[in-house]
Structure 1
Amino acid sequence: MSVLIATYENNIAYLTLNRPEKFNSFNKEMAIALQQELDKCMNDDDVRAIYLTGSGKAFCAGQDLAEAVDPDGPELQSIVHDHYNPIIERLRRIEKPVIAAVNGVAAGAGANIALACDIVVAKESASFIQAFSKIGLIPDSGGTFFLPRLIGFQKASALMMLGDKVSAAEASQMGMIYKYFSDDAFEAESKKIAETLAKLPTKALGYTKVALNQSLHNNLTQQLQIEEDYQTLSGKTADFNEGIAAFLEKRPAVFKGK
């Protein structure tokens, strides 16, 4: 059984973490498989949106602790450096929208991988847990970077130290995620977002992502320059010409991602 299921349809890469018996907790095999699939998506011009979810009842329960304590397994430093950090770097570097469709519990690294994506939606019954303090560790996988920026320093500090379980409704209310859907509507509604993204001007979405990444450390003057530079690049795309033509002709635009 493959630990990662990848299917490609209508310009969308559907990536499903697939260790349901372990609540899709990461081992080395699944981490490397996800890195490789994200590389494939990055280099495939036909892929215009990426949809990341989990199989079974969970999105991802974080690290498979059996591997972490195995004397023959990778050391903790290697797990962070070789498994998780490259995943987070890829999620942010890939100039295409990535939607995390959180279908169940997202704990530890699983929660923070979701939060590193561009748009996070969740099933109403899903939950998010910064579980690290429960086992004497600190949040990794970009958690200390993204969570304070999403919900504020004080709230992030409390969730990380106390390890509270956050419901999908609470996560949406505090700005941790974009929105949540009822369990019955979740799959259709989350895939509808991916389908919408795949039909938008991919270059502009990618440049938007670059600008957002830069905003995390730029001052205003630097960010205005980034906007100027990438607006200029956007204006040279075929999709910009199509968008203008469609507006003037009062018709829906048909973007090609070029």
Structure 2
Amino acid sequence: MNFVESYKTLNVDVDGNIAYITMNRPKQLNALNEDLISEMAQCLNELKKSESVKILVLQGSGPAFSSGGDIKEMLQKPNNDDFFVIMDQIGEMIETLYTMPMLTVSCIQGAAAGLGLSLALASDYILADPESKIAMNFIGIGLIPDGAGHFLMENRLGAHAAKKVIWEGKVMTGVEAHTLGLIDQLVQVGSLKDELKSLLSKWSKKPLKAMIKTKTIYSQMNLEKLRSYLEHEKKGQYEMRNTKDHREGIQAFLEKRPPVFKGE
């Protein structure tokens, strides 16, 4: 099958048994708008059918992995138009990536924030530059993580530590995120491509079918839990979008000032 299709927001390349998906909105720091979310879900579902691809690499073009959900696009729909449709597309994107019958690795440089971080966390392995800016920062605009962010953070940190990271919403360097346990491998500044090449070379010498089978067992055992988290996030996010704190968070974002939250 030919996976190199024409997408507006993605570049897709297949080299032997390795597929590369590159988010391609560099001027927007690869912010996840409706088109990118839809095309990512479509691309992953198509790629999932492959019997030859054993490794998937997810990366961003330009200076960032992904800065998160596209707030500018969100502001164009203040009345929650199509909210549930978009949330279902996000859920499809994350579930498909999490259950891909192949090894998946995300390469983070620059920003990996909000939904962009959820996307990275849905992969099996994360490489990151030490100067990356990594944050689960929904709290800054009075929202909660989506894209199974709660589930994925809990998997890596445990629920107690995940809550603290989510509540703080701090922007961490790659070094801080690695120390915390959010990413798997820290690379030297500017060596992300070389370290990815080294990792892929190492994996290519391993029994990939056995590695993928282990991954599949874990993902299938956790699938219902993942879906439950996505459903709770969808309902919770809808509720949070209608709070005074969210409106204040958005206004503060537009005015480039610290928000003044009142717990309402």
Q: How many aligned residue pairs are there? A: 217
**TM-aligned CA deviation for residue 217 of structure 1:** 8.5
CA distance, structure 1, for counterparts of residue 204 and residue 106 of structure 2: 15
TM-score w.r.t. the length of structure 2 is 0.76
What is residue 138 of structure 2 aligned with on the other side? 132
1:58-73 alignment to 2 at 5 Å? 58-71=64-77
Say whether 1:2 aligns with 2:8: yes
Q: Is the 8 A contact 1:121 1:178 kept in 2?
A: yes
Q: Give deviations 1:121-152, integer Å, cap 9, x for gaps.
A: 10111121111111111101111111122112
What is residue 20 of structure 1 aligned with on the other side? 26
What is residue 98 of structure 1 aligned with on the other side? 104
Give the 3-state SS of the residue equivalent to 1:159 in structure 2.
Answer: helix
Say whether 1:79 aligns with 2:86: yes
Say whether 1:30 aligns with 2:36: yes
What is residue 63 of structure 2 aligned with on the other side? 57
CA distance, structure 1, for counterparts of residue 81 and residue 108 of structure 2: 27
Any unmatched runs of 5+ in structure 1? 219-258
Q: Is the 8 A contact 2:99 2:220 kept in 1?
A: no
Q: Give deviations 1:56-114, integer Å, cap 9, x for gaps.
A: 111001111122122399533322212x1111111122110000111221010000110
Structure 1 residues 74, 102: closer, same or farther in 2, change over 3 A? farther
CA distance, structure 1, for counterparts of residue 21 and residue 203 of structure 2: 16
Q: Which amino acid aligns with 2:177?
A: A
What is residue 183 of structure 1 aligned with on the other side? 189
1:86-235 alignment to 2 at 5 Å? 86-214=92-220, 216=222
Any unmatched runs of 5+ in structure 2? 1-6, 225-264
Larger radius of gyration: 1
CA distance, structure 1, for counterparts of residue 54 and residue 155 of structure 2: 26
CA distance, structure 2, for counterparts of residue 159 and residue 121 of structure 1: 20
Q: Is the 8 A contact 2:54 2:101 kept in 1?
A: no
Across the aligned residues of Structure 1 and Structure 2, the Cα RMSD in angstroms comes to: 2.1
CA distance, structure 2, for counterparts of residue 186 and residue 144 of structure 1: 27
Identity of aligned residues (%): 29
Structure 1 residues 26, 179: closer, same or farther in 2, change over 3 A? same
TM-score w.r.t. the length of structure 1 is 0.78
Give the 3-state SS of the residue equivalent to 2:65 in structure 1.
Answer: strand
